[in-house]
Amino acid sequence: MHNAPGQRAPGGFAGAVASEWTKLWSVRASGLCLLVGLVVSGVFTYYYASIARINEHPVQPVGNAAAASAVVTQFAFVVLATVVVTSEYSTGTVRASLLWVPRRHRVQAAKALVTGLVAFLGGAVYAVLGTAVAWGAFDGRASFEASTTLRQVLSVGVYQALVAVLTVGVAFATRHPAGALSILVTLLWALPSVLLGLGSDTLAAVNDVLPYGAGDHVMRVGGSAPFSSATAVLIVAAWTAAAHGAGLYVLRRRDA
């Protein structure tokens, strides 16, 4: 049976993306994750700037507050992307998704594209809000330059997008929310905290090549970085690609 002229075949990538977009916004958890992240961004940046003002830290770019908040706001997108994948496994609807889009890589790519786009836009909005909140809280202990602030806003968006896509890969590999979140909390927060807390230069160098360590060098301005921003982005992208590859391997090798 042939499709009518101009009609797309079922399971095409455009259809998969449209389906994933609809499914994302049909789940209440998606909006809740984004709202919680917005609130946390405002609270964290106010606290960050207030501490800098109280302790009379050197003047720094106001966007650094929003960049620093990514250490906590990233988990809004981690939870969102985890739910996007694992909710289908828990309900069994992943079978319908794979029947509609038989080429499994398209399913994963569509989820990665949709969650990555939402995370980029959400991360940029968080950064704008955080910068506005921090400007008042810094009370003169921050500088503002439009080009620098714009670069930081976009950098936060790019980092959050990469984290969301990384999460999709991990979630497909584990197929369970607890397993995915355990791995991601360890990789993005617990391990960096331990490495930096021990105070060793060697361990700090290891942290620099972890996703958040590299991402932090991209998002923040000032201080010394062991490599360029472009290299840091490539490091985060490499982690993302590895996670995506692991998820795709499991998706292709195991039954839904």
What pLDDT digit, counting tens, does each position of 223-248 carry? 778 889 999 999 999 999 999 999 99
- What local confidence, expressed as pLDDT, does residue 78 receive? 98
In the block, residue with structure tokens 């990469």: 162
Taking only the tens place, the pLDDT of each residue in 17-55 is 998 999 999 888 999 999 999 999 999 999 999 999 999
Taking only the tens place, the pLDDT of each residue in 158-174 is 999 999 999 999 999 99
Residue 20: phi and psi, rounded to 5, are -65, -35
- What local confidence, expressed as pLDDT, does residue 9 receive? 47
C-alpha 242/C-alpha 256 separation (Å) is 21
Radius of gyration over every alpha carbon of the chain, rounded to an integer in angstroms:
20
Question: Mean pLDDT of all residues in the chain?
Answer: 91
DSSP class of residue 7 equals: P
Residue 36 buriedness (CB in 10 A; 0-12 / 13-18 / 19+): middle
According to DSSP, the residues that pair with 142 across neighbouring strands are 60
Q: Any alpha helices (H) in the chain, and if so which ranges?
A: 13-26, 28-54, 63-91, 94-100, 104-138, 146-174, 177-185, 191-197, 201-208, 211-219, 229-253
For 110-116, what is the mean pLDDT?
96
Domain locations along the chain: 13-253
Taking only the tens place, the pLDDT of each residue in 56-86 is 999 999 999 999 999 999 999 999 999 999 9
Residue 89: phi and psi, rounded to 5, are -75, -40
Taking only the tens place, the pLDDT of each residue in 171-222 is 999 999 999 999 999 999 999 999 999 989 999 999 999 999 999 999 999 8
What percent of the chain stands above pLDDT 90?
78
Indicate yes or no: pTM above 0.85: yes
The one-letter amino acid at 66: A
- What local confidence, expressed as pLDDT, does residue 6 receive? 45
